Amino acid sequence: MFERRRFPRYDCSYNVDYYTYGLASLEGRSIAEDISRGGIRLSLSRIIRKGDVLNMDIRPSKKEYPISARGRVKWVQQAKDTTPFNVNAGIEFLSIEPNDIDKLLHVI
C-alpha cells in the first residue's frame, strides 16, 4: 500500500476544543489520537464532513496554554469502538505557528 503522508505521525492524547463558523456551526471537545507536522487525527462525537474547516485549541497538558490551529477535514470514518466517540477524522493543518507545532511534537 502506498503511503501518502509527508510527515511521520506520533501517538498522543491531547484534549482539543474545536468549533466552526457559519450557518451550521458546531463546537465540541475531542481527543487527539495522533499528530504530525501536517495534521492531527481526532476522535469526535459529532458528525463532520470532509472539507469542513475547524478552529482548534489543542491542549498538550493541563499546565500549558492551549495552542490555536485551523485545519480542514481530509477524511472521516466510523470509529470501531463507538463509545463515547463515533467518528475519527483526519485534519490537515491550514494554519499553526511553526514554534507551536514544535511544542506539540516536543511534548510527546
Share of the chain above pLDDT 90, in %: 59
Arithmetic mean of pLDDT, 70-96: 87
- What DSSP string describes 45-92? SS---TT-EEEEEEES-TTSPPEEEEEEEEEEEE-SS-SS--EEEEEE
Q: What is the pLDDT of residue 82?
A: 59
* Average model confidence (pLDDT) across the chain: 87
Tell me, which fold does domain 10-107 have in CATH?
A: Thrombin, subunit H (2.40.10)
- List pLDDT tens digits, range 20-45: 877 778 889 999 999 999 999 999 87
Q: What is the pLDDT of residue 73?
A: 94
Minimum mean pLDDT range among 6-10, 56-60, 79-83, 91-95: 79-83
Most confident range (mean pLDDT) of 31-35, 45-49, 78-82 is: 31-35
The CA distances from residue 43 to 15, 19, 63, in Å, are 10, 14, 22
Indicate left, alpha or beta for 22 from its phi (over 0: left) and psi (-120 to 50: alpha). left
Residue with the bigger pLDDT between 6 and 56: it is 56
Q: What is the pLDDT of residue 62?
A: 82
Residue ranges covered by each domain of the chain: 10-107
